[in-house]
Amino acid sequence: MSPQRRAISAIGLEKSYGRGDERVKVLDGIDLTVESGTVFSLLGPNGAGKTTAVRILATLADADGGTARVAGYDVRTQRRQVRRAVSLTGQFASVDEKQTGEENLRMMARLHGLSRADAHRRAADLLERFGLTTAGRRLTRTYSGGMRRRLDLAAGLVGEPEVIFLDEPTTGLDLRSRQELWQVVRELSAGGSTVFLTTQYLEEADQLADRIAVLDGGRLVAEGTAPELKSRVSGHRLDLVLADAAAYERLAPLAVRRSPDTLTLGLPTDGTATRVRALLDEVDPARRDVVSFAVHSVTLDDVFMALTGQGAARTPDTDPLTTEEPTHV
């Protein structure tokens, strides 16, 4: 990949919080490369450093070490150029509830230096693009969660950014609203924008991302396409419902997915009948411990658990000292 095609390039990023012996290293020398016009997803458990990485790349925080360039500009020495080239939409909608949707977008356009006439046209274009034309003259406090998120994203696109950072953009949305936002992300990528996505929903990365990186303990533990990451675990998963807690505990170290409440364990397999039969004989030779079983294709949840030793994250990222509501850059 040539440097000219890199929307984001980071080498050895480091960041710690706290003082003295209580300092916590959130990023421990991570390298990131994101090609222009692609969707890149950064996954990791809560507190893994996802939001910290986004804040550094968007110039909202300084790295303790390492270098990074976004849209060709150095995030440390060319902050103004970076900020003109990017937008950041965080976990919480940052629209003004006392204004209409149209007024929010026109205000953002004026802040970007557009004339009144151009701001009016830009707001109208974005309202149409995001399916908000009818609601454009309503106060945003009357909007549903999905509408507010679409307006928030539209506001981030007023300046036509080259790189779009979406930090947990669908947190708190219902399934329909999430799927609507997924379609927006696909359209942005198809239009040539680069999207850097962090998400608490692993299926979201599976659906949208061209490449995925997994962050754990401040380090990147894996990177690749969704199929490449899944192949690191296995092609399929054999889910076993165990007869009792003793059988569950005995087989738990072999599992890539665990559900103690239902005494269910997921074991990697290639999915063939021969291997499934052999695996059942291996784990339950006396045929007393396994009550039932089912074969499933491996998901990113399985990859996540295998690589990080944790279940899929289901709550927003909570890096130290980064809990304020993100704002548009």
pLDDT per residue as tens digits for the range 226-277: 888 877 665 678 899 999 999 999 999 888 788 899 999 988 887 788 989 9
Using alpha carbons, select from 141, 138, 143, 106 the residue that is nearest to residue 125: 106
Beta bridge partners of residue 237, listed in sequence order? 268, 296
Per-residue model confidence (pLDDT) at position 92:
60
pLDDT(110) > 70 = yes
Whole-angstrom CA distances from 2 to 8, 34, 163, 230, 278 are 12, 11, 17, 27, 47
Whose structure tokens read 């970076």? 82
Separation CA 244–CA 152 (nearest Å): 49
Nearest Cα residue to 242 out of 229, 254, 233, 228: 254
Closest CA to 167 of 6, 4, 328: 328
pLDDT given at position 318: 36
Place of tokens 């990485």: 53
Q: Could you report the per-residue pLDDT of 150-165, keeping only the tens digit for each?
A: 898 888 888 889 999 9
pLDDT digits (tens, 9 = 90+) for 119-135: 999 999 999 988 899 99
Measured CA to CA, the distance from residue 34 to residue 69 in angstroms comes to 11
pLDDT of residue 116: 93
Question: What is the model's pLDDT at position 234?
Answer: 59
The answer, as to whether pTM is greater than 0.85, is: no
CATH no. for 3-229: 3.40.50.300
pLDDT tens sequence across 89-103: 876 667 888 999 999
pLDDT in tens, 273-311: 898 999 999 999 999 999 999 987 766 776 776 667 554
Domain edges within the chain? 3-229, 237-297
* Residues 165-209 pLDDT 10s: 998 888 777 788 888 888 888 988 888 899 999 987 778 888 899
